[in-house]
């Protein structure tokens, strides 16, 4: 399959975004790739990509503004920087929402429940994706081997695109383990009819 990389930019109210940021002094601006042109020359700003929020590591201030409309990145940021105030600035409508420590605790509690569900599970399905950057076949096979050693029946589900609606056709699995984009196990959690947990949590907290 031929792969073409094409930069994507969103049309947003650039002036409105910059105006909204003016009231926050000494903040760090975190943004996704769609907004690189808007913030590339601004001090104390950095790109967050996938699960990587390391651009914020050296920031010593108290406020982090995430420019975007999802919860995945700001949750990852807050989880790693509980001592800082994290605010989502939605570039589409300029609305603002603070990510609280309680939001992170809900996320952690959900992880705990999913891990307990995995312990009790008899039939486990591991989602493996073929997309570049999300393809973790070796990790999927490792998880399968480890879980089978515990007496569980484990199945690998291979797909190019992970669509929650497709899993309505699957019955009998006690839990899904997602090895594709971690956002699937966070933002799309409620869209699946089966409990789902990201592979990083399984590898670091289960075994």
Class of domain 112-205: alpha beta
Average pLDDT of the segment spanning 94-108: 94
The mean of the pLDDT values for the chain is: 91
Residues 193 and 171: their CA atoms lie apart, in Å, by: 9
* 1 has a pLDDT exceeding 60: no
* 162 has a pLDDT exceeding 60: yes
> In the chain, where does the domain assigned CATH 3.40.50.11850 lie?
14-102
Percent over 70 (pLDDT), the chain: 96
Q: For the chain, what is the radius of gyration of the CA atoms?
A: 19
* 2 has a pLDDT exceeding 80: no
Query: Of 183, 204, 162, 179, which Cα lies nearest the Cα of 124?
Result: 179
Residues 188 and 161: their CA atoms lie apart, in Å, by: 13
User: Largest alpha-carbon pair distance within the chain?
Assistant: 58
The H or E element containing residue 108 is helix 101-120
CATH fold, domain 14-102, is Rossmann fold (3.40.50)
SS3 percent helix, strand, coil of the chain, rounded to 5, is 40, 20, 40
Reported as a single tens digit per residue, the pLDDT across 113-158 is 999 999 999 999 999 999 888 999 999 999 999 999 999 999 999 9
3-state secondary structure of 135: coil
Dihedral pair phi/psi, residue 129, rounded to 5°: -110, 145
Residues 53 and 72: their CA atoms lie apart, in Å, by: 11
* 174 has a pLDDT exceeding 70: yes
Angle at 70 between CA 65 and CA 140, to 5 degrees: 120
Query: Of 80, 79, 78, 105, which Cα lies nearest the Cα of 88?
Result: 78
pTM: 0.81
> In the chain, where does the domain assigned CATH 3.40.50.11860 lie?
112-205
Please enumerate in sequence order all residues whose Cβ is within 8 A of that of 59, keeping only pairs 6 or more positions apart, or say none: 28, 44, 84
What is the reported pLDDT for 112?
94
């Amino acid at each position: 399959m031929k792969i073409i990389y094409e930069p994507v930019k969103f049309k947003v109210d650039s002036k409105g975004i910059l105006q909204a940021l003016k009231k926050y002094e000494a903040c760090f601006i975190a943004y996704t790739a769609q907004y690189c042109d808007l913030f590339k020359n601004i001090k104390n700003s950095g790109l967050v990509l996938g699960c990587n929020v390391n651009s914020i590591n050296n920031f010593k201030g108290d406020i982090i503004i995430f420019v975007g409309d999802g919860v995945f990145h700001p949750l990852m940021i807050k989880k790693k920087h509980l001592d800082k105030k994290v605010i989502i600035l939605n570039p589409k409508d300029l609305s603002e929402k603070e990510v609280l420590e309680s939001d992170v605790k809900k996320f952690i509690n959900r992880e705990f429940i999913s891990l307990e569900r995995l312990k009790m599970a008899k039939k486990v399905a591991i989602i493996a994706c073929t997309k570049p950057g999300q393809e973790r076949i070796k990790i999927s096979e490792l998880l399968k081997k480890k879980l089978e050693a515990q007496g569980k029946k484990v199945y690998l589900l291979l797909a190019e695109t992970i669509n929650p609606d497709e899993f309505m056709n699957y019955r009998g699995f006690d839990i899904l383990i997602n090895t594709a984009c971690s956002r699937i196990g966070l933002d799309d959690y409620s869209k699946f009819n089966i409990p789902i947990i990201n592979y990083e949590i399984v590898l670091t907290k289960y075994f």
